[in-house]
Structure 1
């Protein structure tokens, strides 16, 4: 029996053949703008509060400006990728992200400068996000697409696992300025990998022929499917990102030492890594929206556990939330490709990712504001539970995929 006739054999063949692509994309996502700034900002709360007297709402509000940059850059970056390929976009964007990180390391007491640099990181670092790397993966994997996306998007889990303890130690030894310089050095790692590793890869280079299979832009934007995906994941992103960013401050309020709180927060990374691989494996075999619905309800249980269990339940809650956090971005990439094909993948995924980023920024800001009003996180956590339940139930209404080929336009009715 040939590989084409044997789906399991084809999946294994794709993963074995494409391991180098997966490794490059995994590292790129781990050191991209969204991973580095999102997973690190919670560790900067205490030193920035102490030095500049900013409150938590102000500090977490920086993610709104990061998101604004990502919203501006997302569709533009996606369109450029569709036209010129992912490689050239990433090679231009990575150095600009590094400069933004260096600027943060030189910050003074100006909150406006803090926000402006987060905006610059999102705007000019848009070519370091999963919009770039999932384009390459989707172009080179078909039968094992879900698992491949899960593997590379585990890069965010590696950041969630490694950044809190790494930055906590650097900040304790050299101050918060050094923490941002470490982030700049990590961001620079991706440049040689993209330059040498993405040569001559489909999706990474400028297209040599017109891709006609898939939905047109306006056809997709008029469909219920696209907006169900976009709004459902916006709600989920708000809930999970808000909880993740405020986990360290929540534990500090409960009297947990910073090093221990950072260690608990790093368990989110364990959940992300496990979640992205297992969920990726699952959506190759089970209808993806059903997987999403189940996983996000599990995350809702994790948020509820933080309210009921406090510091004692935090390790389990971190794992549950991290497991769900391993689902959003790869599910958006998978569903975009499956429902709408690859013709306008960059633009459509870039737009969906931008809206996802809106939720990812709004969640921490709303939680920070609710904390400042109530002096505790109880109301904020219940709001996050409601967002997760809404997102789960919305995604559960998506229709079955149409057709058997990943190159066909999927159901957009």
Structure 2
């Protein structure tokens, strides 16, 4: 049931890209105005995640998921009757952003921790991939429906699907195995249900305060903000209008975006395997270098149409799209220990902040310049900025050695005096 909820939320995430051209042509709104809603959506998507996890510990998983699905459904229904650009920002940016942000990797981590004693990593990875599955399943269908029936019927249909899933969640999803009187998978005996956690949200803020006083946090956050800008930020809301500028139909463009999702899943699995065996810093440097080269080649690939060059782009770009996740999680856990998962939640917020800025800036640049060519080139250069950010991260052993040396010096100095 958790996977079904995540798949449904994933289907909402790529809809704004399908709406840019219809809303621009139908209402005469600037692309920048439309992209503002996407930017707000992405920022709230990231900022909501740490607090949604705390709410699940306090109020239970089922209640939070039910509220989240209700928010995305209501937001989509209100979007279908909007008459002004600010309403798109409120309905899709705020309501859908908070709702989908509650059904992210923190939700997957909570479910895997409660229901599985063994194979938690596999379950968390599978639930994380479910979001991409939602995009893969629904994006081409939604794009075809928008071309045939206009944008409102698909949005309303998706909203109703969200309400149906919310009803199923009420009936089938439980907060903990103890609610059903069973043991977590792989455990020999049932585990008592923990009491509602208090102060979890405050702990998240305290962890952020401690992490923000360290250099590694800002290096990881800055690098991940660049990652968000050059993946979600540009692709979710600007890929479809960019493809439209080059004469590609909505269904073809959506299919290409879905292929990126397929290769993203494969790349994430391969990256997880490599992260266990190689230096994650060097992996990140390699991923950002490859991403920079693909974005540099994208204008020519789009100009060539739906042919071998564009297919090659979807393959290579897709393989490094989500590949950054395992190395960043590993680095966060190495440097922040038990607080690593919470720190990663805040680093993910930086990812979504970068995505939101890029979504708005790219659309505004398209309105100003009449095309996306300069956008691709700038993002390619920005990817190269992330390469040294990854490489200058000091390995934990070196950090510990430096700390020990500083402590020894501090101890010796008074004695010498």
TM-score, L = length of structure 2: 0.77
8 Å CA contact retained: 2:61, 2:174: no
Question: Gaps spanning 5+ residues in structure 2: where?
Answer: 178-183, 186-190, 199-203, 404-417
Cα displacement (A) at 1:328 = 4.3
Aligned residue pairs: how many?
378
Provide, for residues 382-404 of structure 1, a one-character-per-residue CA deviation record: whole Å limited to 9, x for no partner: 111122222233123334356xx
* Shift in CA distance, 185/278, structure 1 to aligned 2, threshold 3 Å: farther
Tell me which structure has the larger Cα radius of gyration: 2
Residues 119-173 of structure 1, C-alpha deviations (whole Å, 9 max, x = no match): 1222344322222223444677899776655433222332332333111122233
Task: Give the superposition deviation at 1:43.
Answer: 1.5
Moved more, 199-208 or 351-360: 199-208
Q: Following superposition of structure 1 onto structure 2, how do residues 249-260 of structure 1 map, counting pairs within 5 Å?
A: 249-260=241-252
Pairing 1:168–2:168 present? no
**Distance in 2 between the 1:144 and 1:82 partners?**
21
3-state SS of 1:255 partner: coil
- Measured in 2, the distance between the counterparts of 1:83 and 1:327 equals 32
- Bigger Cα displacement from structure 2, 376-385 vs 337-346: 337-346
- Answering whether residue 87 of structure 2 is matched by residue 113 of structure 1, we say yes
List gaps (5 residues or longer) in structure 1: 1-23, 403-409
- The question of whether the paired residues in 1 share the 8 Å contact of 2:275 and 2:283 is answered with yes
| Offset of residue 110 of structure 1 | 0.7
RMSD, aligned CA: 3.7
Contact 2:285 2:390 in 1 (8 A): yes
Label 1:383 to 1:77 Cα distance change in 2 as closer, same or farther (>3 A). same
Alpha carbons of 1:207 and 1:96: their partners in 2 closer, same or farther (altered >3 Å)? same
Tell me whether 1:327 sits opposite 2:306 in the alignment: no
Moved more, 336-345 or 254-263: 336-345
Q: Is the alpha carbon distance of 1:140 and 1:316 closer, same or farther for their aligned partners in structure 2, counting shifts above 3 Å?
A: farther
Match of 2:214 among 213, 223, 226: 223
8 Å Cα contact 1:151-1:280 kept in structure 2? no
Cα deviations across residues 210-231 of structure 1 (Å, max 9, x unaligned)?
Answer: 9xxx997143332222222111
Q: Which residue of 108, 114, 120 maps to 1:133?
A: 108
Per the TM alignment, residue 412 of structure 1 is displaced from its structure 2 partner at its CA by 12
Per-residue deviation at 1:266? 1.9
For the 8 Å contact 2:60–2:175, the answer to whether it is kept is no
Query: 1:354 matched to which residue of 2?
Result: 349
Determine if the alignment matches structure 1 residue 394 to structure 2 residue 389: yes
Distance 1:204 1:63 in 2: 41
Query: Where do 1:48-197 residues align within 5 Å?
Result: 48-70=23-45, 72-81=47-56, 83=58, 86-107=61-82, 109-117=83-91, 118-137=93-112, 149-188=124-163, 191=166, 192=168, 195-196=172-173
Tell me if the contact between 2:23 and 2:29 (Cα under 8 Å) persists in the aligned partners.
yes
- Segment of structure 1 superposing worse, 231-240 or 144-153: 144-153
SS in 1 for 2:270: helix
SS at match of 1:31: helix
Q: Distance in 2 between matches of 1:361 and 1:38?
A: 13
Counterpart CA distance in 1 for 2:266 and 2:229 is 21
Indicate if the aligned counterparts of 2:11 and 2:139 stay in contact, CA closer than 8 A.
no
